[in-house]
Chains A and B, each alone.
Chain A
Amino acid sequence: MSAVARFARLLRLLPKVADGTPRRIGDVAKALRVPAALVREDLQSLAERVEDTSGGFIEGVQVLLDRDHVTVRSRWFRRPLGLSADERAAVALGLAMLAQEGPAESVPAIQRAREKLGRLGPGDAAVRAGRIGPAAPRTAVAGAQRETRYLAALQQAWVARREVELAYRKPGARAAEPRVVRPWRLVSARGAWFLIAEDAARRAARVFRLDRIDGVRLRSATYEVPAGFAVEDVLRDGRVFMGAGAGTLEVRYGPAIARWIAEREPHERQPDGSIVVQYPLADDAWAVRHVLRYGPDAEVLAPARIRELVLAVLRRMV
């Protein structure tokens, strides 16, 4: 156990206990979300002073420790340390993501939050004077997804457990239709956002791509997310998928692009350097779009109806 890790942990632990009130070690551990044995070891390390302290030394921290309880007195460690540069940078990174995603009306609040976050630790003067350091790594986010204009509204609906009415364009549909849904989870996977929600009319869970949502209206009705729902249940190979028995899409990717696809998909390699990948298939329109983006380097092998759909689309373009 390194001194750095223990010291950093103590700076978080002491403000929670240093007011002289006896506390159960188990409760302290629970509040800090660390094992009780670790809390005991950290406190024990203070209770058993290694150095000779004869000569009028004033303890910065006094610790009384018995089997289950601890009492700590310290005038100097009753508040946490200000946020470090890496702590502020981590939260700022998340704020940058939210600012990119919008909506535009949330940006002022994000900017104010970022400015106030900066005041929760030593300022630029301390950095310039070398009083703290080193600075956090340079980290940025880029490439906001274009379909996130309703993400914040749906996240707020999830927090409030309020139903929403979506204007949703089904795959292949030219116009949006109203759908009343109960949001269970928002998932970002492979560069796209999805809403996992119960469709109120169908009384069944559905996956909605956020780039097909043309409008969101909050309703007054509330709901509960089913206790048995786990987001892992709708993730397969890092992709959001829901539905059973819909079939399998089999695609062959030519040698020119195979290694890029193989980097992210489980695949079967062919002697000519191409690969074959199988995907769960619940949306024919998605399958057509997916293979067309690779031009002649991708070919649907099965099912036959998707091959026909692809061919029909291509004939209209020639």
Chain B
Amino acid sequence: MPAERRARPADAAKVQRWLDVVAALLRRSPDRLTFVELAEQVPAYGRGLRSRGDERWQESAVARMWERDKDELRALGVPIGVYPDAGGNRSRYGLETHEFYLPFVHSLDGTPARRTGGPPGVSMVAFSPEELAMIRRAAGRAAQLGDPAVADAARRAMASVAHDLAAFDPDADHGETVVGQPLDPTVLRTVGDALVKGRRIRCRYRSMHRDVTASRTLEPLGLVFQLGHWYVVARDPGDERLKTFRASRMSAVESLAPNGAVAPPRGFALAAHAASREAWELGDGEAVTVRLSVAVHIALGDLPGAAPASAAVGPRARTRAATMQVRRLEPFLRWLLAFGGEVRPTAPRHVVQAFRDLAARTAATYGAGS
């Protein structure tokens, strides 16, 4: 047996103790047990109590062990509840079977529902074949995003969903491959862990605009996957402004010791903050309405934020008009340039001239006179 796989006696004892705890609480569910009642069914606790006497159990090492066990089991997803006794003291513990067990999963594809291996209190959730296909495809997609923690969680979820469904293959190929940018997996793992625990992080970050790499302390508020890249939404300590950092530009990421839990600002919605914006939509400058001539074979949907500016296009028309709101002109004009003249500005005049100037400057790099 390889050394790294050999279980230490303390770990083996802990695993057995945790299974004993869960079995004891499930056996008596929905009753709530005092710790002394629980210890009667968990040998590791019972031995500790016998040596100290039941009345003083709260001062014993075994009581501290139970508190640690309870927290670790909850972190593993075992929903141990603490309930008041007749005197209002929160001294009773319980596991609700409907919260502990996976509900029976049923596919509405005509196969009979199976209720195996669960007590009567466990509910059933029925999925249509289309919904199950979506779930499996979504898990497959999540598993390819480059975050090993997300990938592992998605695979575990599918293995559980498959428990009741004979025809559900959790590893089925869904025909899609997402090629992510190379990324040190410890970055996402550390940031994800800090997010869960509300901790700050310290990292080395390469600022592309300033072309410097420097140490930064950040308060992470969320992770965003966008067009093949992971980003960390965070703020500097003491500064409420939210910033976005590309994860691949982070290195030497470490989670810092608690210094007050990092909490998002009131009303913070990660998805709304992460909503994609083009380079020309960013900035504090006044937005300019630019009128465009667009070749008819180019769908306006391919021009983010474009609004039609003319009536329905006739069958012989070669172009149509549209408008876009622009805050930063240079990136907008470069983006237009890539359409090779099939999308071009027609107003206002200074934008038209700037577009021509950009084309002329670009042509000059090829030796063309302006």
A residues at B contact (CB < 8 Å): 1-4, 6-8, 10-12, 15-16, 18-19, 32-33, 37-38, 41, 45-46, 48-53, 55, 57-58, 60-61, 74-98, 106, 109-110, 112-113, 116-117, 119-123, 126, 129-147, 155, 158-159, 169, 174-175, 183, 185-191, 211, 231, 235, 238, 240, 259-260, 263-264, 288-290, 292-296, 299-300, 307, 310-311, 313-318
Q: Is the interface of B mostly helix, strand, loop or mixed?
A: helix
**A85 and B77 in contact (CB under 8 A), knowing A139-B150, A158-B175, A315-B363?**
yes
Contacting B105 at CB < 8 Å: which of A110, A120, A130, A175?
A: A120
Contacting A116 at CB < 8 Å: which of B125, B270, B276, B359?
A: B125
Q: Which 9 A-B pairs have the closest CB atoms?
A: A60-B23, A94-B138, A78-B117, A143-B276, A158-B175, A84-B77, A142-B274, A94-B142, A90-B153
Contacting B274 at CB < 8 Å: which of A81, A140, A190?
A: A140
Q: Give bound CA distance, A85 to B249, whole Å.
A: 28
Q: B127 near A61 (CB under 8 angstroms)?
A: no
Q: Give bound CA distance, A144 to B227, whole Å.
A: 7
Q: A15 near B226 (CB under 8 angstroms)?
A: no
Contacting A295 at CB < 8 Å: which of B24, B122, B248, B337?
A: B337
Q: B337 near A317 (CB under 8 angstroms)?
A: yes
B residues at A contact (CB < 8 Å): 1, 4-7, 9-20, 22-24, 26-27, 41, 43-44, 46-47, 72, 74-82, 99-103, 105, 116-118, 122-123, 125, 127-128, 130-135, 137-143, 145, 149-151, 153-154, 156-161, 163, 171, 174-179, 181-182, 191-193, 195-197, 208, 211, 221-228, 248-249, 264, 270-271, 274-276, 295, 297, 301-302, 304, 333-335, 337-341, 344, 355-356, 358-366, 368, 370
Q: B228 near A189 (CB under 8 angstroms)?
A: yes
Chain B residue with Cβ nearest A317: B359
Q: Which of B23, B123, B356 has the most CB of A within 10 A?
A: B23
Q: A295 near B13 (CB under 8 angstroms)?
A: no
Q: B360 near A318 (CB under 8 angstroms)?
A: yes
Q: Give bound CA distance, A18 to B117, whole Å.
A: 9
Chain B residue with Cβ nearest A16: B163
B28 to chain A, nearest CB (A): 11
Q: A77 near B337 (CB under 8 angstroms)?
A: no
Contacting B99 at CB < 8 Å: which of A131, A190, A240?
A: A131
Q: Give bound CA distance, A113 to B139, whole Å.
A: 12
Q: B135 near A117 (CB under 8 angstroms)?
A: yes
Contacting B344 at CB < 8 Å: which of A1, A87, A289, A317?
A: A317
Q: B363 near A314 (CB under 8 angstroms)?
A: yes
Q: B335 near A120 (CB under 8 angstroms)?
A: no
Contacting A140 at CB < 8 Å: which of B123, B157, B224?
A: B224
**A137 and B195 in contact (CB under 8 A), knowing A91-B135, A91-B138, A120-B125?**
yes
Q: B157 near A191 (CB under 8 angstroms)?
A: no
Q: Give bound CA distance, A74 to B22, whole Å.
A: 12
Q: B117 near A138 (CB under 8 angstroms)?
A: no
**A169 and B224 in contact (CB under 8 A), knowing A155-B174, A185-B177, A292-B337?**
no
Set of chain A residues within 8 Å of B5, measured between Cβ atoms: 1, 37-38, 41
Contacting A138 at CB < 8 Å: which of B41, B163, B223, B304?
A: B223
Q: Give bound CA distance, A79 to B161, whole Å.
A: 11
Q: B222 near A140 (CB under 8 angstroms)?
A: yes
Q: A289 near B338 (CB under 8 angstroms)?
A: yes
Q: A143 near B227 (CB under 8 angstroms)?
A: yes
Q: Which of B154, B192, B339 has the most CB of A within 10 A?
A: B154
B110 to chain A, nearest CB (A): 18
Set of chain B residues within 8 Å of A135, measured between Cβ atoms: 196
Sample of 14 further A-B pairs with CB below 8 A, known A93-B142, A135-B196: A12-B159, A33-B171, A37-B1, A45-B7, A74-B23, A83-B102, A91-B157, A113-B127, A131-B80, A140-B270, A142-B224, A231-B177, A313-B340, A315-B363
Set of chain B residues within 8 Å of A300, measured between Cβ atoms: 366
Set of chain A residues within 8 Å of B15, measured between Cβ atoms: 3, 6-7, 10, 45-46
**A83 and B160 in contact (CB under 8 A), knowing A120-B103, A134-B197?**
yes
Q: B276 near A142 (CB under 8 angstroms)?
A: yes
Q: Give bound CA distance, A90 to B153, whole Å.
A: 6
B182 to chain A, nearest CB (A): 8
Q: B137 near A155 (CB under 8 angstroms)?
A: yes
Set of chain B residues within 8 Å of A19, measured between Cβ atoms: 117
Q: Give bound CA distance, A50 to B131, whole Å.
A: 45
Q: A94 near B77 (CB under 8 angstroms)?
A: no
Set of chain A residues within 8 Å of B335, measured between Cβ atoms: 293
Q: Give bound CA distance, A164 to B44, whole Å.
A: 64
Set of chain A residues within 8 Å of B364, measured between Cβ atoms: 296
Set of chain B residues within 8 Å of A117, measured between Cβ atoms: 135
B252 to chain A, nearest CB (A): 18
Q: Give bound CA distance, A169 to B296, whole Å.
A: 13
Q: A51 near B179 (CB under 8 angstroms)?
A: no
Chain A residue with Cβ nearest B158: A91
Set of chain B residues within 8 Å of A240, measured between Cβ atoms: 179
Q: B179 near A189 (CB under 8 angstroms)?
A: yes
Set of chain B residues within 8 Å of A37, measured between Cβ atoms: 1, 5
Set of chain B residues within 8 Å of A120, measured between Cβ atoms: 102-103, 105, 125, 157, 160-161
B106 to chain A, nearest CB (A): 11
Q: B47 near A51 (CB under 8 angstroms)?
A: yes
Q: A53 near B43 (CB under 8 angstroms)?
A: yes
B328 to chain A, nearest CB (A): 14
Q: Which of B1, B15, B26, B363 has the most CB of A within 10 A?
A: B15
Q: B118 near A79 (CB under 8 angstroms)?
A: yes
